[in-house]
Amino acid sequence: MKLAIGSDHVGFELKPIIIEYVRELGHEIEDLGTFSSERTDYPQYGKKVAEEVASGNFDAGILICGTGVGISISANKVNGIRAVVCSEPYSAKLSKEHNNTNILAFGSRVVGSELAKMIVKEWLNALFEEERHAHRIEMIHQIEK
Ligand code: RB5
C-alpha cells in the first residue's frame, strides 16, 4: 500500500518510528509534515493527509497528535474519509473489517511506540468485509451528501 502520514508537533517524535515500521512491513509511506517540533496546529495535517487519501493519491493515511482526537476529527471533515482514533489493536482491526477506515489515528501521549506499532500492524493487515458491511458504508456516504 501507498500511505501518507502526518502529525502535529506532539506526534512529531513518534512519527519516524512509525514510518520505519511501516516500511519494514513492506509498504510505501510519505511524510506530509509537520517537519519540526515547533508548535503547530493539528487541523492542517489532518486535512492534508485526508485530502490526499480522498483524492486517491494515497491508499490510506496515518495521523498522530497528542491524543489522536483533534487530528482524526479534522480528517473526518473531508468527504470520503473514515478516520478512526485507536489506542488498542482490536478496534483498529475491526475498524478496517467493518467500517473500511482509510485513516488510522493515535495519540503519542496515549500509546507508547510498541503499542502504536501493534495497532498499525493490525490495521494494515485487516481486510474490509465488503459483503457484510458495504451497505453501511454507503449509508455513511449518504450522510455526507
Ligand atoms: C496539542 O497541544 C494537542 O491539543 C494536540 O496534539 C491533540 O492532542 C489534539 O487533539
Residue corresponding to grid cell 500500500: 1
Identify whether 98 is a catalytic site residue: yes
Nearest CA among 4, 131, 134, 135 for reference residue 64:
4
Length in residues, the chain: 145
What pLDDT sits at residue 90?
A: 98
Nearest CA among 85, 145, 80 for reference residue 116:
85
- 134 CA from centroid of ligand 1 (Å): 33
- Is the separation of the CB atoms in 107 and 74 below 8 Å? no
Low-confidence ranges of the chain (pLDDT < 70): none
Which atom of ligand 1 is least distant from the CA of 11? 6
Q: How far apart are CA 84 and CA 35, in angstroms?
A: 23
| pTM of this structure | 0.98
Residue with the smallest CA separation from ligand 1 atom 9 is 70
Residue with the smallest CA separation from ligand 1 atom 7 is 66
What pLDDT sits at residue 18?
A: 99
* Residue 52 three-state SS: helix
What pLDDT sits at residue 84?
A: 98
State the maximum Cα–Cα separation within the chain, in Å, rounded to a whole number: 45
What pLDDT sits at residue 137?
A: 96
